[in-house]
Amino acid sequence: MTVTPLTGTPTPPRAARTTGSPAAADQQLDPTNVAGKYGLSPADLERFGEEMDAIRKRIVADLGEEDAAYIRNVVKTQRGFEVAGRALFYLPPAWPLAVAALSISKILDNMEIGHNVMHGQYDWMGDPGLNSRMYEWDNVCPSEQWKYSHNYIHHTFTNILGKDRDIGYGVLRMDEDQKWHPYYLGNPVYAFLLMVFFEWGVAMHDLEVENIVAGKRRISDNKALHAGIMRKVRRQALKDYVLFPALTGPLFPLTLAGNATANLVRNIWAFNIIFCGHFPAGVETFTEAESEDESRGHWYFRQLLGSANITGGKLFHLMTGNLSHQIEHHLFPDLPARRYPQVAAEVREICERYGLEYNTGRLGKQLFSVAKKICRLALPDRHAPRPGTPAASDQEEPWTRSA
């Protein structure tokens, strides 16, 4: 009913849904639901959830000095690259090195430090410098707004169509169940622009511009957000595009270009890693109905099937902020990210036992899969909607309403 299932078998129509007492329904599989498609009953999901909870509990009990030393070391490394990058702009021949150092600094700051600290992964340390309520990142999006749309909306309603605004970010068509519209012919172009201006896209995410266009949100609803965004934008722009270039005197244009390039490199990298997290082929989306009042087990199940990993070495995982372990991140969003590789094998083994796909692949493979989807979904569906497909056309898809 969402993405064509991994097995390739078409989803049975919703009409096949069993009717009966709720108690009886509990014992049966609902093939129109993702869980039913995978042959998992509510009791199975409960056991699945308990196994995930057990992993979580074990890691929480083990948190301590190694995790603290790790994140402090990453912070120290990031600050080192930052200072080195800013300093190397005084040596024009070292310009590429300066850009590289500053790019690494921004990537580390946003991904392994910012994203993870703001998830509360290190709140247990009681260090205000690493606390989710106080951390602010080197990015034009104010952390306060990002935490709402990311930690709450995206991580709670992951891949629920109509609720998780990270499915296409209100701009792209990333799922078959988003109804096609001629606007989406531009899908690849919009994706490219979003990649180049990614931090600005993230900053504007909370404004829900697509919902304003669709008439579901008023511009006045955004008033409170504007001030926060503008304050952050001013600070970021002042630093990267005025003060640091000015400090290099006659090298102003070179430094300005270098800072802009570092921001661009970070945008491209973050966009690509993040798009590999939820959009490769095989990742499931869910309906609001099947996720309503869900059990903890179903929440885990949805996080697992709604995410995809990227394989790679240690350095690669660090530079992705361990979002290369998007599956583990979505299962345990508030555990320190360095723990994800440690639990990955166990998560994968549990998935195998429950017959669940553990979606992973090399960066190239996952990127190609995402690019293919972006292009394919730009065009109308080749086949007519499957009979009885649950209300695909009723999905809350802003652009169809606005048209």
Partner 1 sequence: MAPTRSLTRAVLGSRTLAALTSPHGVDRYLELVNPMWAVHEVRARVVAIERETDTANPVATVTLQPTSTWAGHRAGQHVQVGLELPGSRRFTRVFTISSAASGPGERFTLTVRANDGGTVSSYLVEQARPGQVLHLSQALGDFVLPDPVPPRLVLLSGGSGITPVMAMTRTLLRSGYDGRITFLHYAQTPAHQIYADELAALAAADNGVDVHLVHTEAGGALFTPAALADVAPDWAEVDAYACGPAGLIERVQAAYADTDRLRVEYFKTPAVATGDAEGTVAFTRSGEQSANSGATLLEQAEAAGLRPEFGCRMGICFSCTARKSEGTVRNVLTGEESSLPDEDVRVCVSAPVGDCAVEL
CA distance 165 to 209: 11
Q: Which is nearer to partner 1, 46 or 53 (CB)?
A: 53
Cα angle for residues 302, 202, 171 (degrees, 5° grid): 75
Query: Which CB atom, from 343 or from 392, has the smaller least distance to partner 1?
Result: 343
Rg (CA), the chain: 22
Rounded least distance, CB 246 to partner 1, Å: 10
- Taking residue 10's Cβ as centre, other Cβ atoms within 10 Å add up to 11
* Shortest separation between residue 79's beta carbon and partner 1, angstroms: 6
What span, in angstroms and rounded, lies between the C-alpha atoms of 302 and 330? Answer: 9
Nearer CB in complex with partner 1: 159/187: 159
Query: Toward partner 1, which CB reaches closer, 44 or 123?
Result: 123
Nearest 5°: phi and psi at 133? -80, -20
Alpha-carbon distance 200 to 140, whole Å?
Answer: 7
CA angle 303, 308, 313 (to 5 degrees): 125
d(CA 80, CA 74): 10
User: Measured from the CB atom, is 245 or 390 closer to partner 1?
Assistant: 245
In the complex, the smallest distance separating the C-beta of residue 241 from partner 1, rounded to whole angstroms, is 12
**Of 134 and 379, which has the nearer Cβ to partner 1?**
134
Nearest distance from residue 180's CB to partner 1, in Å? 32
Residue found by looking up tokens 């429950």 in the block: 354
133 vs 226, beta carbon nearer partner 1: 133
Judged by beta carbon, residue 187 or residue 263, the one nearer partner 1 is: 263
46 Cβ neighbours under 8 A, 6+ residues apart: 295, 296, 297
Helix or strand (DSSP H, E) at 367: helix 363-376
- The distance of closest approach from Cβ of residue 345 to partner 1 in the complex, given in angstroms and rounded to an integer, is 23
Tell me whether residue 225 or residue 374 sits nearer to partner 1 (CB atom). 225
| Cβ proximity to partner 1, 1 vs 167, nearer residue | 167
The CB-of-39 to partner 1 minimum distance in angstroms stands at 26
Measuring CA to CA, which residue among 368, 159, 155, 187 is closest to residue 278?
Answer: 159
Least separation in angstroms between CB 138 and partner 1:
6
E strand or H helix that includes residue 282: none
CB of 158 to partner 1, least distance (A): 11
Phi, psi angle pair for 160, to nearest 5°: -95, 115
- Least CB distance to partner 1 at residue 87 (A): 12
- Work out the burial of residue 163: count CB atoms within 10 Å of its CB; fewer than 13 is exposed, 13-18 middle, 19 or more buried: middle
User: Which DSSP string do the residues of 143-187 spell out, in sequence order?
Assistant: HHHHHIIIIIIIHHSTTBTTT-TTSGGGTS--STTSPP-GGGGGH
| Minimum distance, C-beta of residue 373 to partner 1, in the bound complex (Å) | 27
Q: Which residues are near partner 1 by CB under 8 A?
A: 53, 57, 60, 64-65, 67-69, 75-76, 79, 83, 119-120, 123-127, 129, 132-133, 136-138, 147-148, 151-152, 155-156, 232, 235-236, 238-239, 243-244, 247, 296, 299, 333-334
**Three-state DSSP state, 360:** strand
Residue 188, exposed/middle/buried by CB under 10 A (0-12, 13-18, 19+)?
middle
CA-CA distance, 370 to 349, in Å (whole number)? Answer: 26
